[in-house]
Structure 1
């Protein structure tokens, strides 16, 4: 099994490259309602399809992941981004710079705080 290193909620871990959100959530004992948010360079990705392999998504390239629950206080600039609330609502493409992939598996937007 191929693995890679990534940071999940502030802890550096070795993760299987072909894991799904559901598998990660179970392995890390995260609550069922926690959504996976991935940070890849200057992109943030919210994964909607929990059974899709992360290696098939932009989120699979991330070096930092956060699990976020509804109503949870913001822990950092990424989790406080106004674009995040819209992305959490579901896969849509709009003029605000958010892009949903063709099958709605994830929504990406520009990472806040980076000059583009």
Structure 2
């Protein structure tokens, strides 16, 4: 199984290529209500399907991941994006992807 490096909540670690959000949450002992937010270049993805391998989604290309709990204070501009709250309230697919805040195109 291949692995790759990514930063999860500020910690740089190796992730198995086919890991899921649920496996990552369990391994890092994150709460069940924390949403996985993935950042890759100019895109942000919120993972809704906890059992699908990240490699099958845009989220699998991310180099930075955050777990964000409801009501948690915003740690950065990405986690403060209103699109995250909207996507968590009404997920329309396995993941919701939008342009990263603060990047002009």
TM-score (norm. length: structure 1) = 0.88
Aligned residue for 2:56?
Answer: 56
Instruction: Measure the CA separation in 1 of the matches of 2:28 and 2:71.
Output: 20
Aligned to 2:38: 38
SS at match of 1:50: coil
User: Alignment RMSD, CA only?
Assistant: 0.7
Any idea what SS the aligned residue of 1:4 has? strand
Where does structure 1 lack aligned partners over 5 or more consecutive residues? Answer: 93-103
Q: Could you tell me how far apart the structure 1 residues matched to 2:74 and 2:16 are?
A: 28
Structure 1 distance, partners of 2:11, 2:63, is: 11
Shift, 1:22, TM fit: 0.4
C-alpha deviation, 1:69, in angstroms: 0.5
Residue 115 (structure 1) aligns with: 104
Query: Normalising to structure 2: TM-score of the pair?
Result: 0.97
- Residue pair 1:21, 1:36 contacting (<8 A) in 2 also: yes
Question: For residues 3-44 of structure 1, what are the alpha-carbon distances to aligned partners after superposition, in whole Å with 9 as ceiling and x for unaligned?
Answer: 000000011000001000000000001011111000011000
Q: Is 1:48–1:90's contact at 8 Å kept on the other side of the alignment?
A: no
- SS where residue 66 of structure 1 aligns? strand
State the 4+ residue runs in structure 1 displaced beyond 6 angstroms: none
Residue-pair matches, total? 105
More relative contact order, 1 or 2 (CA 8 Å, 6+ apart): 2
Runs of 5+ consecutive residues of structure 2 not aligned to the other structure? none
